[in-house]
Amino acid sequence: RPRVGSRAQGRSAILEKFGGAAKGPAPHLRRSGGAATVKTMLLEWCRARTRGYAVSAAGGQPEGPGEGPGGGLTAVSAQHVDVQNFSGSWGSGLAFCALLHSFFPDAFDFAALEPSARRENFALAFATAEERAGCAPLLEVEDMVRLPVPDAKCVYTYVQELYRCLVAKGLVKTKKR
């Protein structure tokens, strides 16, 4: 019997966990250039949707995009949601919360979130995605808080599924082919 490496076992575990989850790239993100282009486009979409979101590093008065006098961010010691990749950028749960808040601003008070409350941030984001967007619960809070840096493939798969659900609900406008 051939020996299966830990990487293959990990991949099998992810596939088993995600079972009947989304297959292939998110709808309307398919372009010539392959998977790397789709991944880049999805990352840019996340970056655009979360731009301007910040929370006070001490708790206090976080800011949504364009809040504060003159439309600028006013938190003195702010931690900005800065989506640069599908791993470390999502580690506090704030990127998930900001992305969902950009579609469902009445779902929760973004101003009440704290960067250090990872477990609560992930729980809030995943519950909101499931309840409001109909997104399958592909990630579990415990899996996300177990590692300081989330697995990029898991985050990418989840964001892809969220995008697909938002398109299906008509909340993301796409170009008709």
DSSP count for the chain of H helices, then E strands: 6, 3
CATH topology assigned to domain 81-172: Actin-binding Protein, T-fimbrin; domain 1 (1.10.418)
Taking the whole predicted model, whether its pTM rises above 0.85 is answered as no
CA distances from 140 to 124, 154, 155, 158 (A): 11, 10, 11, 11
| Whether pLDDT at 102 is above 60 | yes
Q: Where are the domains of the chain?
A: 81-172
Give the whole-angstrom CA distance, residue 53 versus residue 49: 9
Residue 31 scores a pLDDT above 80: no
**pLDDT band per the 50, 70, 90 thresholds, residue 13:** low
